[in-house]
Amino acid sequence: MKKAEISLGKREWQRLLTEALGAFPQEACGLLLGQGNCIEHVVPARNVHPTPRTHFEIDPQALVDAFRSARQGGPGVFGYYHSHPGGRPEPSATDRAMASGDGRVWAIVAGDDVAFWRDDTDGFAMLSYRVDDR
């Protein structure tokens, strides 16, 4: 059996679903914090995009705070998440255009499904994952 590329706890998995549902019909967004191949925390952020029903932009202050905390020994910025209300859990054309190729993970939530993608210089690559009991 192939080893999962990333892991997260049931609480973090449920948080992704809850945040997406709570933001509906707008896109939810936030940060994934962790280290190695493990997502340890899902941190919601304000979607500051002018058209939040179809786009997302993580509040820049949330990003600054997360990177500052990581530099001071806190959990690293593992990646980002957002939802696709009424869409599929895969990168949209807009997601692909806005991606930075920084190697971080994107979680995309659609309904009760979550998919994880690595934002590489060659585009998005789907990742395998496991949800565990922690």
Residues 108 and 81: beta-carbon distance below 8 Å: yes
What is the pLDDT at residue 4? 57
Q: Where residue 123 sits, what CATH number does that domain have?
A: 3.40.140.10
Distance CA 33, CA 49 (A): 22
pTM for this model (two decimals): 0.93
Whether 134 maps to a domain, the answer reads: no
Whether 110 maps to a domain, the answer reads: yes
27 assigned to active site: yes
Whether 41 maps to a domain, the answer reads: yes
Distance CA 35, CA 97 (A): 27
Of these residues, 5, 12, 19, 27, which one is catalytic? 27
Could you say which residues of the chain have pLDDT below 50?
Answer: 1-2
Whether 1 maps to a domain, the answer reads: no
Whether 69 maps to a domain, the answer reads: yes
Host domain of residue 25: 6-129
> Taking phi first (over 0 means left), then psi (-120 to 50 degrees means alpha), and beta for anything else, what does residue 133 get?
alpha
Count of domains for the chain:
1
